[in-house]
Structure 1
Amino acid sequence: MPQILTTVGFDADDTLWQNERFFQLTQERFNELLRDHAEPDHLAERLLAAERRNIGHYGFGIKGFVLSMIETALEVTENRVPGTVIAELIAAGQEMLSHPIELLPHARSTVEQIAGSHRVILVTKGDLLDQERKLAQSGLGDLFDGIEIVSDKTMPVYAQIFERHGDGADRGLMVGNSMKSDVLPMIEAGGWGVFVPGQITWALEQAEAPAGSDRFREISDLSYLPEVVAGVG
């Protein structure tokens, strides 16, 4: 009987290595710098609104985040934000762009184990240079049969990627920490979606689990993924 599942895709940020925690730490610094102009909750709302507006212009990643922080700082201070604050926000972004990679538990061992029986690919979105840097520092790059850095993760994108690197999305599985980006569009493309919750999930990546789908799975950490893959067949 032919193997049902031939290709397994992995998300990168907050699935294989830490990411969102550094955004949260930088946002705390942002709140501190602007504490005389707005309350933290209000700043968070304004910043999230700016990020939502700007995704179409800047895409996902640190650079867009920094530009959205600067835009929000200008808004809440009515363009009176000191140049020193802008400089600190830029410095915070540069620090994020150079932060060492911290692999999450079971990341390497899980990719290695699944690579022994299936094609494994990395599918991540965000700034090209930053994602390439993180992948190089992770030491995981040589484990993957294919690497895709995309501007966004949608049903057509998954269909194309799993056709290019595998036997189509219907014989593929995608695992990640974002219900919105890693799970739902992959299931829509005809594949399996495995949700592994991160410690922190960005508000724009949150979504409800697919009700009644027989191609949806949820695991608490990556160590359970080989069992899921084996169960699919």
Structure 2
Amino acid sequence: MTGIQIIAFDADDTLWVNEPYFREVEQKFCGLLEDYLPHHTVAQELFKTEMDNLSLYGYGVKGFMLAMIETILRVTNNTANPVLIEKVLEYGKEQLNKEIELLDGVKEVLEALKGKYRLVVATKGDLLDQERKLNKSGLAHYFHHIEIMSDKQEKDYRKLLRHLDCQPEAFLMIGNSIKSDVMPVLAIGAHAIHIPYHTVWAHEVVNEEVKEEKFYSFQTISDILPKLLS
């Protein structure tokens, strides 16, 4: 991994806990509609709504809230008690106000790498929500640049590298999603490290095995230090 100048970190489920909070809300949401459909069917309907609207709403809690409301209206054939909508808004606001729980080893890793590389956050999601989480995390001072992306496709990473004035071979992306943090990064000739997280959104799951010279996988974020400090 010689020649790396910039290390970019995904945020959600790489630096701090995120996906488990969505699953908690999903379980409560399924309970709201149990008089209409079994829990697993409600979850399927919600996911379908999320996918249908992803290009319109993007990623994040607000889009999730809108998807829940739309699912309620569809499943109940527009006969839902307004209290159900009120509960969805309550769940969403609670999620937006969650305290930030950093993952083990994150601060120690950033402290060790700061000054040796330019550190960047490259995450997707709602701008306001991601800014809030970063500010509450206490990690902002470690980063040279913050990039909150609407998506993580090859074109989005190319745009980021142009902004950073960085060649692909000098760029390393670290994240928990093979689909978003690894495959498009490798496709543009940069390096990628995958650090798996125990809970992954179905939209981010890929069954394809990655075999690339510039790809590495570690079990925890702390495991990357010997590779990057050697």
The interval holding the TM-score normalised by the smaller chain is over 0.9
CA distance in 1, matches of 2:119, 2:192: 14
1:17 aligns with 2:16: yes
Q: Which is worse superposed, 153-162 or 193-202?
A: 153-162
Aligned residue for 1:128?
Answer: 127
1:206 aligns with 2:205: yes
TM-score by length of 2: 0.96
Runs of 4+ in 1 over 6 A off after TM superposition: none
Q: 1:64 offset after TM fit, Å?
A: 0.4
Aligned residue for 1:171?
Answer: 170
1:5 aligns with 2:10: no
CA distance in 2, matches of 1:167, 1:14: 26
Q: Report the RMSD for the aligned CA atoms in angstroms.
A: 1.5
CA distance in 1, matches of 2:83, 2:17: 29
CA distance in 2, matches of 1:11, 1:157: 14
> Contact (CA 8 Å) 1:195, 1:219: kept in 2 or not?
yes
Q: What does residue range 1-233 of structure 1 map to in structure 2 within 5 Å?
A: 3-230=2-229
> Contact (CA 8 Å) 1:184, 1:210: kept in 2 or not?
no
Q: Count the aligned residue pairs.
A: 230
For 1:136, the aligned partner's letter is N
CA distance in 1, matches of 2:107, 2:126: 23
Deviations 1:60-91 (A, max 9, x none): 00000011011111111111111001100011
CA distance in 2, matches of 1:229, 1:167: 18
Q: 1:228 offset after TM fit, Å?
A: 3.0
Give 3-state SS (helix, strand or coil) of 1:14's partner: coil
Q: 1:229 offset after TM fit, Å?
A: 2.6
Give 3-state SS (helix, strand or coil) of 2:103's partner: coil
**Identical amino acids, percent of aligned pairs:** 37
Q: Which is worse superposed, 110-119 or 208-217?
A: 208-217
For 2:102, the aligned partner's letter is L
For 1:67, the aligned partner's letter is L
Q: Which is worse superposed, 128-137 or 115-124?
A: 115-124
CA distance in 2, matches of 1:106, 1:219: 13
Structure 2: runs of 5+ lacking an equivalent: none
Q: 1:162 offset after TM fit, Å?
A: 2.4
Q: 1:210 offset after TM fit, Å?
A: 4.7
Deviations 1:134-189 (A, max 9, x none): 00000000100111011001112112212322522221110111111111111111
CA distance in 2, matches of 1:178, 1:163: 23
TM-score by length of 1: 0.94
Structure 1: runs of 5+ lacking an equivalent: none
Q: 1:230 offset after TM fit, Å?
A: 4.2
Q: 1:209 offset after TM fit, Å?
A: 4.6
